[in-house]
Structure 1
Amino acid sequence: MVKTAVIMAAGLGSRFGKMTESMPKGFIEVGGTAMVVRSVETLIACGITRIIIGTGYKKEAYEQLADIYPQIECVYSEKYASTNSMYTLYNCREAIGNEDFLLLESDIVYSRNAITELMECPHPDVMLITPVTKFQDQYYVEHDSTGRLTNCSTDKTEVNAAGELVGIHKLSAEFFSRMCRDYAAVVAEKPKMGYEYELLSMSQNVMPVYVLNAKDVKWYEIDDESDLEYAEQNIIRSL
């Protein structure tokens, strides 16, 4: 069983405007509970004993959360304003060590079976997708007949889309070690790479990432106030 999870939480959350002037995006409440708190409690309920949070903007909020949940360890990225999620993940590599782990975004709400189905999947390196549910900012995912990730894009016309990226993954220690070595060669050129594109590059060229299409998982990514309103009205009660 995977016992470690890594949450990406360094971003500015600028699309929320004034809502994130005093807090990081993960602390925005949906249904009366902060998104990151929902995630932490779900992970713990699923048997996760160690939660690494890659922080940046308003890092103090996550550090205070670690005082409440002893499972949490924060790893701060000083370059959060000029980098993206792959750099944040790369910055966590020493804390992760030689552990298999779940990788999650801080700005998603999801049903518990998103975690349990990933854990039960026999493949060691897995990207969770579902049928398309979001009305904006989708990442469409394509895979081959074996389930291996072959493409992903925000433009649906560029891929033979099997579904939509959720923002929850399972990665093995071996895969992540090779992923870090691969990214180290290009980090100076691509500090703003999203980790999903490094996963794609790895799957295409180095080691397979398999796609798990979980049609019964409920979830939503919340990037701005429109997303928040939609999630409050249509998603949160079904989790």
Structure 2
Amino acid sequence: MKPEIAVIMAAGKGTRFGSLTAEMPKGFIPFKGKPMVIRSVEALIDAGIKEIIIGTGYHREHYERLAERFPEVKTVFSPRFADTNSMETLYRCREAIAGRPFLLLESDIVYDISALKTLIDDPHPDIMLITPVTKFQDQYYVDADSSGNLAGCSTDKSEVSPSGELVGIHKISPGFYKAMTGSYSRTMDEEPKLGYEFQILRTAKSCCPMHVLNMPRLQWYEIDDTSDLAYAEKNIALT
């Protein structure tokens, strides 16, 4: 079954942007004149996604106003956002996801719509999207095994034999998400700062293989701070 919903992780404070995120969440920082999250919402709609769930926290009012503008958008607030991480936000979205396959995205990435269309059409039910390593800072390295399934991931290149770099766009099946959240519910109080990427890895290694898909020519960038923004504005060919 092809996913018709998407979940965008957007609860974080984006402190590395300094004053730019004093009054707004980082998803609203403009890339080439348009906020990153609005670019993503429009791309998702153009790719055929019918419903977009945004997991919110910091300055959630911006996303709530966005939901008034786009009928496809709904928000899920994580009241513990200041003390937790992205897995908590994703866990909070379980009722809105309601047992359906979905695309999972970060709020601070810019990308070509081909990434979405490729994941939607690919027959694998669970996919982690990667590209060759191109980001000049804060890379998240991904290792695939001989079958093309997720074997490891780390911010430390020496810990894995990287097949590429995490983009921040996934396809998740109902079974995989159920396994992720079931395991997390038993450890969430012990690991409040757990990122969803590490829970994906645990789930992939314990019970549910995740296919790693490499798109070498994909135009994309994760924008974590003003240096990233300047680099992406200059080098990423998106209109």
Q: TM-score, normalising length from structure 1?
A: 0.98
Q: Confirm or deny that 1:127 pairs with 2:141.
A: no
Structure 1 unaligned runs (5+)?
none
Whole-angstrom distance in 1 between the partners of 2:192 and 2:89: 10
Q: Confirm or deny that 1:222 pairs with 2:226.
A: no
Aligned residue in 2 for 1:164 = 165
**Equivalenced residues, count:** 238
**Once the two structures are aligned, what percentage of the paired residues are identical?**
57
What are the superposed Cα offsets for residues 92-140 of structure 1, whole Å, 9 maximum, x if unpaired?
1111111100000000000011101111221101100000110111100
Aligned residue in 1 for 2:103 = 102
Amino acid at match of 1:50: E
Counterparts of residues 147-186 of structure 1 (less than 5 Å): 147-186=148-187
Q: Secondary structure at the match of 2:166?
A: strand
Superposition CA RMSD, Å: 0.8
Counterparts of residues 13-32 of structure 1 (less than 5 Å): 13-32=14-33
Aligned residue in 2 for 1:114 = 115
Counterparts of residues 44-123 of structure 1 (less than 5 Å): 44-123=45-124
Q: Confirm or deny that 1:38 pairs with 2:39.
A: yes
Whole-angstrom distance in 1 between the partners of 2:85 and 2:102: 20
Distance apart, 1:29 and its partner CA: 0.2
* Contact preservation (8 Å) 2:111, 2:238: no
What are the superposed Cα offsets for residues 156-190 of structure 1, whole Å, 9 maximum, x if unpaired?
11111000000000001111111110111110111
Structure 2 unaligned runs (5+)?
none
Distance apart, 1:238 and its partner CA: 4.0
Amino acid at match of 2:109: I
Distance apart, 1:216 and its partner CA: 2.0
Aligned residue in 1 for 2:233 = 232
Whole-angstrom distance in 1 between the partners of 2:203 and 2:179: 9
Q: Secondary structure at the match of 2:205?
A: helix
Whole-angstrom distance in 2 between the partners of 1:74 and 1:120: 26
Whole-angstrom distance in 2 between the partners of 1:184 and 1:210: 24
Whole-angstrom distance in 2 between the partners of 1:130 and 1:55: 27
Whole-angstrom distance in 1 between the partners of 2:214 and 2:157: 17
* Contact preservation (8 Å) 2:3, 2:102: yes
Counterparts of residues 130-149 of structure 1 (less than 5 Å): 130-149=131-150
Amino acid at match of 1:88: T
What are the superposed Cα offsets for residues 70-95 of structure 1, whole Å, 9 maximum, x if unpaired?
00000000000000001100011111
Whole-angstrom distance in 2 between the partners of 1:172 and 1:216: 26
Whole-angstrom distance in 1 between the partners of 2:118 and 2:169: 11
Whole-angstrom distance in 1 between the partners of 2:59 and 2:206: 36
Q: TM-score, normalising length from structure 2?
A: 0.98
Whole-angstrom distance in 1 between the partners of 2:15 and 2:76: 21
* Contact preservation (8 Å) 2:102, 2:172: yes
